Homo-oligomer: A and B are copies of this chain.
Amino acid sequence: MIPYCSICWDVDKVKLLDQRRLPAEELYIETRDYHDVIEAIRTLAIRGAPAIGVAAAMGAALGALDLDTQDPGEFQSRFQIICREIAAARPTAVNLFWALDRVLLVAQEHAAESVDAIKAHLVTEAQTMLKEDDTTNRRMAQAGQVLIRDGQRVLTHCNTGALATGAYGTALGVLRAAWEAGKRFSVWVDETRPLLQGARLTTWELGKLGIPYTLIPDGAAATLMHQGKVDLVILGADRIAANGDTANKIGTYSVAVLARHHGIPFYVAAPLSTFDFSLPDGGHIPVEERDAAEVTHLWGQAVAPAGAAALNLAFDVTPNELIAGIVTEKGIMEPPFSSSLKPYRPTQG
């Protein structure tokens, strides 16, 4: 078992690993204040679509615990405001909204009970979501590990391990399951500028798992592909539209085009909670544009001249036609995704 967790519930507080400080320091943020959770999501102390979902639910539970009213109506309306605040933390990962919809539903389902009872249900629900995420991740990992073969050189982008989820990991979970099944392979880790989640987090997790890896600048992936040194690409997702178009960390679309050019299969691993069936295609996915300072500065030090104009798109959208398959807890979805995903679309009300 990996001796760290991205987030957990500890009696009456949330404990989360501050990923901004990795790999230099392994520091946990402990808080009873949901505003701290919002700040942690906003500033990427916690990141990764599934982990953001769990954090949102736990933040909502903290907010609920803190509501000093016994009036059920007032509780519900103030709880809804808290959830809206949390929802505004980041725009792209759909798991955030999915998790909040789920806790709002719990609050409504138990509306006839006492405020204290509802609070208890919300705390339980947040913890259940963490456990479910672990279970989902492990199912997804088992479904996906058939893709990995001995001797392969697998390329991944950003971080999709236990840090990015409640527990096990999505794309990195697939690699972890393959490794635990005895397969031996190695991983090319895209450093993933600007925030270097690959360099800082994926290397750190692969090191703990004992899986051999080599870190590369994002611009080197194409060359390794050209040299025949990349056999498969697998990475995560922040939101997937009904047709399979996939929003993920900036640089993902680049890897997808390069993989296509070199005839390398490109897989996405994401739980069904990452799918947004309300969006027909990726053109409708809102893409977060973050502070240009994340590009022009690194740990407070300028890497560009003062006043340099920079664009910091946090995500990009990969069209479904570049994706060989999407690994989910229900198996590997294959193109055309609108058909393979159909059984998992929520029924329209």
Contact = CB atoms under 8 A, between A and B. Distances in A.
A129 to B, nearest CB: 30
Given A219-B193, A257-B261, A199 B296 contact: yes
Nearest to A301: B299
A192 B303 CA distance: 11
Contact of A223 (B204, B216, B316): B316
Interface stretch (A30-38, A75-83, A304-312): A304-312
A17 to B, nearest CB: 15
A214 B23 contact: no
A316 B220 CA distance: 8
A199 B200 CA distance: 21
Contacts of A250: 217, 219-220, 223
A226 interface: yes
Contacts of A196: 303
Contacts of A214: 309-311
Name the residue among A217, A218, A252, A253 with the largest chain B CB count within 10 angstroms: A217
B24 A302 contact: yes
Name the residue among A191, A219, A292 with the largest chain B CB count within 10 angstroms: A219
A162 to B, nearest CB: 15
A233 to B, nearest CB: 14
Nearest to A287: B223
Given A24-B302, A308-B203, A219 B295 contact: no
Interface in A220-250: 220-223, 226, 250
A221 B251 CA distance: 8
Q: Sort chain A's interface into a size bin.
A: 35 or more
A101 B223 CA distance: 31
Contact of A253 (B215, B222, B255): B222
Interface of A: 23-24, 190-194, 196, 199-200, 203-204, 207, 212-223, 226, 250-255, 257-258, 260-261, 292, 295-296, 298-299, 301-313, 316-317
What number of copies of this chain does the assembly contain? 2
B219 A218 contact: yes
6 contacts: A23-B304, A207-B308, A213-B309, A218-B218, A219-B250, A223-B253
Nearest to A208: B305
A135 to B, nearest CB: 29
A199 B303 contact: yes
A314 B309 CA distance: 26
Contacts of A219: 190, 192-193, 218-219, 250-252, 254-255
Contacts of A199: 295-296, 303-304, 308
Contacts of A223: 250, 253-254, 313, 316-317
A247 to B, nearest CB: 11
Nearest to A24: B302
Given A215-B310, A217-B251, A304 B203 contact: yes
Nearest to A207: B305
B221 A304 contact: no
Contacts of A252: 219
A205 to B, nearest CB: 10
A218 B215 contact: no
A331 B310 CA distance: 33
